Amino acid sequence: MLIQCTKKLLDQLNIKPASSASEEPLFSWHANLIRVNRRKAVVLVNDKNRYVIVLHGLKAKDFKRLDDLVLQAIRETFRDECIEDKIIEQFINHSKEITYTKTKDRSSVSRVNKACELVHSFEDLMQEGSINQSVMNIRMSRLLVGGGPQKYVRPNEELYKDLEAFAGKPIFSCKAVELKVTLDLEKHNVWRRIIVPANMTFNKLHKVLQAAFGWKDYHLHEFYIYSDEISDNGLSINHSGYHKEGYKPIVNLVCDEEAFAYPNDVSMKLETGVKLSEYIPAKIKYNYDFGDNWQHYIEVERVIDDYDKNYPVCLEGGGNTPPEDVGGKHGYEEFLEIIADERHPEREDMAAWGASQGYSDFDIKMVNRAIKIVYVMD
């Protein structure tokens, strides 16, 4: 592997760069040293496909083992991309000998500098306690970049093509789970069956559920994880962690730091960076919009060991999702009564309002299109 460094990074490494070296572009990177939140970070951009790898929180001792840290970051990030382990190891084995040189040309330096600017824009994705910033790497590498005159590409898609050509076969294989997600509505059967990679984070699952049900992500959300124990644990039916089948909640995953100012009877944890694989096949509840109080019960129906995609898919579903801000279950029933009554004076206005909120019949093609957009853009 060839890492072509800015002067700032070479000074930090305190090494004499190789006078000359060549490497296939897929195994060649440009790299720079920056500070993010007063901590040192190394940003690498692949010369072939412009995929980005970020290492953050580096200390003096870490720069002495930068070879290992870079290779481990690539391994972890590719694994989170659902690339098959054997292909990852092929790539790593081809990259073990690392050579450091000066930067090659202005164009490559410009690319790495643009990536460094983006790191500052995505500081909220930084994972504390981790040098490899896999979530940031994946998110940044999905952004469109210039790929030539009047041409734009996504680095992740270019990486997939490059790795497939390198391996000579399809590259995706990961553990996944098939989930049945049911919106808790007594009078209506609203559900979706989806497959998601097991290494997906809960904040990403939130985005997928929003797309699957057609919610607009206007409000706060949370997850509850349950043990297999059925227990009278004293939670009232009005408690957000209450499970209708009596399962005991063991952790409450929250979406915002402010939630910790309102502790409840269940251990709380910020969802950022927490993966499904840490808890599945546990039962899960997803609460969205604490005013209207939409509760979704999630059951793991099947574990798939060799899922051949790196994005979620909705297999089937049924029922229409209530409009946003309709007023909870009672408001939804009133909404349905009005739009079903051709003589009701508010019918036309209510139907128009529902349409403006995205209220429509379940359409699996539209759902999967929305999920794919979430995968690409978030």
Cα 136 from Cα 177, distance rounded (Å): 24
Residue 300, SS3 per DSSP: strand
Q: What is the pLDDT of residues 171-216, one digit of tens each?
A: 999 999 999 999 999 999 999 999 999 999 999 999 999 999 999 9
Q: What is the pLDDT of residue 9?
A: 97
149 token code pair: 């005159």
Q: What is the pLDDT of residue 231?
A: 72
Position 233 scores a pLDDT of 63
Confidence at residue 284, expressed as pLDDT on a 0 to 100 scale: 98
Which pLDDT belongs to residue 232? 59
DSSP state of 202: H
For residue 234, what pLDDT is reported? 67
Strand ordering across the sheet containing 52-58: 52-58, 39-46, 28-36, 2-5, 99-102
CB 99, CB 18: distance < 8 Å: yes
Cα distances from 218 to residues 89, 147, 148, 175, in angstroms, run 42, 35, 38, 31
Contact 272, 201 (CB under 8 A): yes
Three-class secondary structure of residue 215 per DSSP: coil
Q: How many whole angstroms separate alpha carbon 269 and alpha carbon 368? A: 30
Architecture of domain 174-319+365-377 in this structure: Roll (3.10)
Tell me which amino acid residue 216 is.
Answer: K
Nearest alpha-carbon partner for 196 in 216, 175, 210, 217: 175
Count Cβ atoms below 10 Å from residue 362 Cβ, excluding itself: 19
Q: Are 132 and 76 in contact (CB under 8 A)?
A: yes
Closest CA to 226 of 243, 204, 209: 243
CA dist 99 and 180 (Å) reads 49
Residue-level pLDDT at 151: 85
**Cα distance between residue 182 and residue 295, in whole Å:** 8
pLDDT number for residue 366 = 96
> E strands of the chain, at which residues?
2-5, 28-36, 39-46, 52-58, 99-102, 145-148, 151-153, 174-183, 190-197, 221-230, 247-254, 268-270, 283-288, 294-307, 313-318
Distance CA 110, CA 99 (A): 21
* Angstrom distance (rounded) from CA 8 to CA 109: 12
Cα–Cα distance between 253 and 275 in angstroms, integer? Answer: 11
Q: What is the largest CA-CA distance in the chain?
A: 84
Residue range(s) occupied by CATH 3.10.290.30 in the chain: 174-319+365-377
> What's at 273, amino acid-wise?
G
What are the pLDDT digits (tens) for 71-102? 999 999 999 999 999 999 999 999 989 999 99
Determine the pLDDT at residue 222.
98
306-322 pLDDT per residue, tens = 999 999 999 999 999 99
Q: Which fold has domain 2-167?
A: Nucleotidyltransferase; domain 5 (3.30.420)
pLDDT band at residue 374 using 50, 70 and 90 as cut-offs: confident
Reply yes or no on whether the pLDDT at 324 is more than 80: yes
For residue 71, the one-letter residue type is L
* Residues above pLDDT 90, as percent of the chain: 87
In one-letter notation, the amino acid at residue 236 is S
Tell me if 95 sits within 8 A of 70, measured CB to CB.
Answer: no
Average pLDDT score over residue span 233-262: 90
Q: How confident is the model at residue 332 (pLDDT cuts 50, 70, 90)?
A: very high
Q: Look at residue 376 and tell me whether its pLDDT is greater than 80.
A: no
For tokens 């049945």, what's the residue? 180
Please name every residue paired with 339 in a beta bridge, in sequence order, or none if there are none.
none
Contact predicate 42/33, CB 8 Å: yes
For residues 144 and 152, the answer to whether their CB atoms sit within 8 Å is: yes
pLDDT digits (tens, 9 = 90+) for 28-69: 999 999 999 999 999 999 999 999 999 999 999 999 999 999
Per-residue pLDDT, 36: 95
What pLDDT is stored for residue 49 in this prediction? 97
3-state secondary structure (DSSP) of residue 255: coil
Amino acid 281: pLDDT: 92
Mean of all residue pLDDT scores within the chain: 94
Q: Summarize the confidence of residues 283-303 as an average pLDDT.
A: 97
The neighbour count for residue 341, using CB atoms within 10 Å, is 12
Instruction: Report whether pLDDT(148) > 80.
Output: no
**C-alpha span between 114 and 102 (Å, rounded):** 18
